[in-house]
Amino acid sequence: MGYLSHLECARCGQKHDPSVVQNLCRSCRFGPLLARYELDRVARDLTREALAGRSADMWRYAELLPVNDRENIVSMGEGWTPLLKLDRIGKELGLANVYLKDEGLCPTGTFKARGASACVSKLKELGVRALGMPTAGNAGGAFSCYGARAGIEVHVAMPSDAPESTPKQCSIAGGTVYLIEGRVNRSADFIGEGITRFGWFNAATFKEPWRVEGKKTMGLELFEQFGGELPDVILYPTGGGVGLVAIWKAFEELQAMGWIKNRTTRMYSVQTEGCQRLKKALDEGKDDTEPWTNITTAIPGMAGPPYSLGDSLCLKAIRESGGDVLIVDDEAILADMRHIAATEGTFICPEGASTLAALRRLRDSGGIGRDERVVLLNTGSGLKYMEFFQAKVLREEPGVDLFTRAAAGVA
Ligand SMILES: *Cc1c(COP(=O)(O)O)cnc(C)c1O
Ligand SMILES: [Zn+2]
């Protein structure tokens, strides 16, 4: 621990003191801050062999995480999630190496636990007592739970139609939940007022430097899980784009440490038809997006925001890596959510299922080789999304032989 050197503005490059509680760059006023480490020192002190014997959670990468004193780590065992080979799906698609990184096994039910663990730990270290944030739902749940464990007060604003599991998760952990009409940008405006009035730390996506660090560990794990190599393709369901930026940052750090020669993975962002801001900017050759105001998708983690401060970083990662943005519709996502459960046994969230729908498109367009190693990033558990599907069941009725009916096929 203690390898964190400074914070760097992703926009203007200005360096900032990482021991100061802050949000966006105070020089250019718009840039998100990224944590920078003394990577040559990390490379000297840390070996892959030493890593192999460490705890099976994301804090195995402590040298590449921002906390200085172990005492401040707020952890529930997040990370080191399984990398499942999907042989049946692979066979169907004519692809030999399809994998699912299953973040549904993280505490709180989604990969938001990684960002929350890193951020809440660092805030605890910096002495922050209360935070506020807008969320599509899952980040609020994760921050409420980690906040409870750290003794930090949490205020969460989310769209009133967020999956029911999320306000309940926040509430049971003692978070204060504000249900706000409209899309997540309205929740952001709302909580912004609370942040100004009460001085809560602003833990919104990309407005603080630490969530990226937690999500970065997904990239470090993939490196280890592929035996010290990178996969060829990653498909990532994109909301604010934190995870996509973070995984690319992890690979950059591994490269700087000399653990890999090149960043050979193609990064594919998956967006829905109802929110395509990255796709539009990529097609138009732009370095940043324009707000996508008419958001029509029902997939919570992909329904905006209309604009993310991380968009320019996402576009950069996609271009540098030779990836693309893949667009899928809600219907295809929900169909693949069922399909992957029925063929592979993994009950994943709709956001995660979008990566399978996108993989079909990528395969159809010839954008992928038969033997390439593909990672579908499943960001959470399907168990948080009870409203999204109906169970096919045989219900007892007087005078009906359910077994005969079952044999005829469950409708
Ligand atoms: C937040 C979230 C996403 C989007 O994550 P970003 O890294 O912000 O793009 C995807 N899936 C689920 C389940 C989420 O909760
Ligand atoms: Zn700046």
The secondary structure of residue 275, as a DSSP letter, is B
Mean pLDDT of 282-299: 96
- CA-nearest residue for atom 8, ligand 1, is 240
Higher confidence at residue 241 or residue 391? 241
Neighbours of 199 (CB within 10 A): 11
pTM of the predicted model, to two decimals? Answer: 0.97
Residue 135 main-chain phi, psi, to 5 deg: -155, 155
Which of the four pLDDT bands, split at 50, 70 and 90, describes residue 409? confident
The whole-chain average pLDDT of the chain stands at 97
Domains in the chain, CATH or no CATH each: 83-109+211-388 (3.40.50.1100)
CB 299 within 8 A of CB 270: no
CA distance 323 to 282: 11
The answer, yes or no, to whether any atom of ligand 1 lies below 6 A from the CB of 323, is no
Mean pLDDT of 156-171: 97
- Name residue 381's beta-bridge partners: 348
Q: Does 229 have pLDDT greater than 80?
A: yes
Neighbours of 26 (CB within 10 A): 13
294: buried, middle or exposed (CB in 10 Å: 19+, 13-18, 0-12)?
Answer: exposed
Ligand 1 mean position, distance from CA 231 (Å): 21
Distances (CA, A) of 376 to 42, 206, 229, 271: 29, 23, 17, 14
> Could you tell me how many residues make up the chain?
411
Q: Which ligand is nearest to the CA of 13?
A: 2
Give exposure, 110-137, as e/b (b: 16+ Cβ within 10 Å). bbbbbbbbbbbbbbbbbebebbbbbbbb
Which of 106, 108, 110 best tests ligand 1's pocket when mutated (most atoms within 8 Å of CB)? 110
Ligand 2 mean position, distance from CA 289 (Å): 18
Ligand 2 mean position, distance from CA 196 (Å): 21
Neighbouring residues of the ion ligand 2, judged by CB less than 5 Å: 9, 11-12, 14, 25, 27-28, 31
pLDDT in tens, 45-89: 999 999 999 999 999 999 999 999 999 999 999 999 999 999 999
Q: Does 128 have pLDDT greater than 70?
A: yes
Q: Which ligand is nearest to the CA of 108?
A: 1
Sign of CA dihedral 364, 366, 368, 370: positive
Using N-to-C axis directions, what is the helix angle for 112-126 and 138-150, rounded to 10°? 40
CB 186 within 8 A of CB 159: yes
- pLDDT value at position 9? 98
Ligand 2 mean position, distance from CA 309 (Å): 12
Mean pLDDT of 389-394: 91
CA distance 240 to 51: 30
The answer, yes or no, to whether any atom of ligand 1 lies below 6 A from the CB of 242, is yes
CB 243 within 8 A of CB 316: no
pLDDT in tens, 200-219: 999 999 999 999 999 999 99
Q: Does 411 have pLDDT greater than 80?
A: no
Q: Does 410 have pLDDT greater than 80?
A: no
Which of 271, 351, 378 best tests ligand 1's pocket when mutated (most atoms within 8 Å of CB)? 351
Percent over 90 (pLDDT), the chain:
97
- CA-nearest residue for atom 3, ligand 1, is 301
- pLDDT value at position 1? 78
Which amino acid would we find at residue 206? F
CA distance 357 to 192: 35
- CA-nearest residue for atom 2, ligand 1, is 301
The answer, yes or no, to whether any atom of ligand 1 lies below 6 A from the CB of 237, is yes
Which of the four pLDDT bands, split at 50, 70 and 90, describes residue 225? very high
Q: Does 323 have pLDDT greater than 90?
A: yes
